[in-house]
Chain A
Amino acid sequence: MQPGIDWAAVQAAAAWRLVVPRTPMRGRVGERLGAGTGSSLEFQDHRPYVPGDDLRHVDWKAFARSEVLSIRLYREEIAPRIDLVIDRSRSMVATELKQRAYGELVALLASASTSMSADTRLVTSAAAPPIPLHRPDEVQRFLDCDATSGAMEELGLQLRRQSMRVAVSDFLFPHDPDTIVGRLARDGASLAIIQLTTRDEAEPDVEGGRRLVDVEGRGELDVTIDARTVAEYRARFNRLRQGLSRAARRTGATFVHLMAGATPRQVARVLADAGILEPR
């Protein structure tokens, strides 16, 4: 049962949009400057006239100065490609709080993507084709997290070249951060990595004896959660987080760690601070 997403809060936070990278990118004809030559008003270069060129693009002022026919070239305008990579493993819904936070985060990102006339697709696994996203509420159909592994762990995700990529996961699975970040960033225009965990997952407290059962069926363990164990766990979790952060920096990606429990507005502000969102 999906806990209800606070769509009102998500809509209120929809005054944000994804930050488009300054580097040129690819995409369909749209309203963002692309890497190639196009028909925008932004001048890009000159080149000599060749028969067949549109006479309207001849730079007559330059011809007057130099008596050489030259053509004015303008930057193309494109609609950016956005690939939202989401983790649909069971760990994302380990608690109701995390499930709600996960749903609202994905809805916020979907809202920020669709509000900028982008070609947005939802990537959930390597096996399933990416799903075009036209409205934010369409993500609700993909928030049932019952897989035993997430998309981040899979090879061959169908990511588009020069697309803006946003990956959402808790990254609580054994991995090499450089490998996984490099895979997500390859041939992309930009990459934002958002790690979502609960407070107990990031900063557990002393609880005494517990039988820990992995929700993704990776085994169970009897552990006495004392101060020493907690300290060791926190150190291990911090190393995992810092590994992701370092790998993101190496590839020019953005990394942010979120804890479940914040409102969509607070989440949007944190993402804006990290350079993932910007005001419209």
Chain B
Amino acid sequence: MVEIFFFILATIAVGGALGVVIQKNPVGSLLFMVGTLAALAGIFVLLEAHFLAAIQVLVYAGAIMVLFLFVIMLLNLGHDYKADVRRGLGAFLAFGVTGALAGLLASQLRGAEENPIYQYFPGPEGMDLLLEEQGVVGAIARPLFTEYVIAFELVGVLLLVALVGAVALAKKRA
């Protein structure tokens, strides 16, 4: 059952990714991207990472993609665009290289589950237990505010810096 869902969502994700790459219209590729993100959120749910699925939809698909869309509209790129996919030797080479790399990685990653290292870790059952004890949000929140609080705070500062930087860069010169 889970497999079927996974397969469907995977197909949607890959199709969306291909659409991002191939689509000529920037807005079109953006929408395909949203589709991929949604499919990925679904896969997160299948992998028992419910909180992240929600965050993915809210933040990534909801905020970041909208930001992209705003910029595209700001720069008025949605209308007369030329075909901006490269053709020729460079494209062929890029396809070959990435294809080869993908094949290589895929072939190596296929036997991942049999890795004996997993015996030292709690495994899916342990994860399920954790989620039952602390709840979906609690399972992430508890380590975030205790063990990794410094990283959390730094990320906050990072966001501030990014905010200030973005404003400064995008400002019109007086």
Are A and B bound to each other? no
Binding site for A on B (CB under 8 A): none
